[in-house]
Amino acid sequence: MNTPKATTTEGIARALAQTHAGMLAGEPRTDDLSTQDRAAGWDVEHAGVLQACRRLSFLEHDAQCVAQAWRRQSQRTGQFSISHWPTDPQDFGLSTGPRNPAFAACPRRLGLYAVLPDAQWVGRMAQAGVQTLQLRFKSEDPDAIRQQVRLAVQAVRGTDSLLFINDHWQIAIEEGAYGVHLGQEDMQDAPLEQLRLAGLRLGLSTHGYAEMLRADAASPSYLALGAIFPTTLKRMATAPQGLSRLNAYAALMRHHPLVAIGGIDEERIPSVMQSGVGSIAVVRAITGASHPEQTAKGLKHLIENLQKTEPPSQNAPKSIL
C-alpha cells in the first residue's frame, strides 16, 4: 500500500484517516485539539494519530488508547508507519500468557450464541442443539427472576448447551448456572472475586478499546464485541462498530474467546466470522423468526461450516481493512 507522506500533525492526521477510512463509525469529529495534544507531550506523529482517531469518530478514551499503542508500536519497531494499525497485544500493555487468578475457561469457539428472554426460550433452543445460551430476563421482581434462572438451569440439564445468566450473578451462583454475562457497569458493581471463586464462567461486554482493556484486566472467560451493526434492542451509547473495527478488535484480543454481537443476521455471518471470532450472538434472528428451531439449526450449521474452513485458533485474524 502506498501511504501519503506527511510530516505535520495535520498532514499525518489527514493521511491516516484516509488510509483507515473503514474505521469510521458514526459522525466524524472535526474539532482540532492538536495544539493541546502537543502541549500534553505528544510528538508530531502520534499527535497526528490522536487527531485522526477523533476524525474516525473514536471516543476520546479509545482514541487515547490507540495513540498510546501506536507510539509503543513505533518504539518497538523503530519506525512510524501510517499504514500499520496496531493490533499487537503488547503495544496495548496486554499479557497473552497464562493468568493466575483467572476465570474458568470456556470453549474458544462458543458457536451460535442465542440471547433469550425467558426460560421457555432457553429450553426450546437447548433442545434445538444451540451450543451457547444466555438468559436475559428483565424484571424488577426478585422471585420471578429466581424462578426464571432456576427453570433455565433445569432446561439445559441433559443437553450440551452452556447457559450464561445476564446480570443476576448472585442467583446464578445459587442456582448452579454455567456462567454469567455482565455489562461494563455491572462489572464495576459485581464482586468479581466471589464469582471467580464460585467457579462461574464470566463473559463481559465491550464497545471499544478502553472497555476491552478494562475487561481484559478481569481475566474473563470470554469477551463480547459490539454492537457490530445497528440494533434496535437496546439504546447504545456508541455507534455500530462495523467490520473494520471488529477485525482490529479480534486481532488484538485473540488470546480470549470472542463473541460478536449486534445486528448480525444470516447474511452477515460469513463476513463477521472472517474476523476470527469464535461465536456469533443473535437475538431477533431467532426470537423473531417464523420457525425459531429451524432457523437456529440453520444458523448453527452455517457457523460450524464456516469454522471448518478457518484455522482452529483465533491467532491469525483477517486483515483489519
Q: What is the pLDDT of residues 38-64, one digit of tens each?
A: 878 999 999 999 999 999 999 999 999
Mean residue pLDDT of the chain comes to: 93
Can you identify the CATH homologous superfamily of domain 111-308?
A: Aldolase class I (3.20.20.70)
Residue-level pLDDT at 40: 87
The per-residue pLDDT for 314 is 44
What is the per-residue pLDDT across 289-310, written as a single tens digit (0 to 9) for each? 999 999 999 999 999 999 998 7
Q: Say how far apart CA 93 and CA 68 lie, in whole Å.
A: 10
Distances in Å between the alpha carbon of 155 and those of 75, 95, 160, 168, 292?
53, 38, 11, 17, 17
Residue carrying C-alpha cell 432456576: 150
pLDDT category at 4 given cuts 50, 70, 90 is very low
Query: Which pairs with CB-CB distance under 8 Å and at least 24 residues apart come from 235-240?
Result: 236/207, 236/262, 237/207, 238/25, 238/26, 238/59, 238/207, 238/208, 239/25, 239/26, 239/27, 239/57, 240/25, 240/26
Short-list 136, 155, 127, 119, CA closest to 281: 136
Confidence tier at 313 by pLDDT (50, 70, 90): very low
* Lowest-confidence segment of 27-36, 144-153, 232-241 by average pLDDT: 232-241
| Short-list 321, 56, 54, 61, CA closest to 208 | 61
Predicted local distance difference test score (pLDDT) of residue 320: 58
* 316 pLDDT more than 90: no
pLDDT in tens, 116-150: 999 999 999 999 999 999 999 999 999 999 999 99
Domain boundaries, the chain: 9-86, 111-308
Q: How confident is the model at residue 321 (pLDDT cuts 50, 70, 90)?
A: low
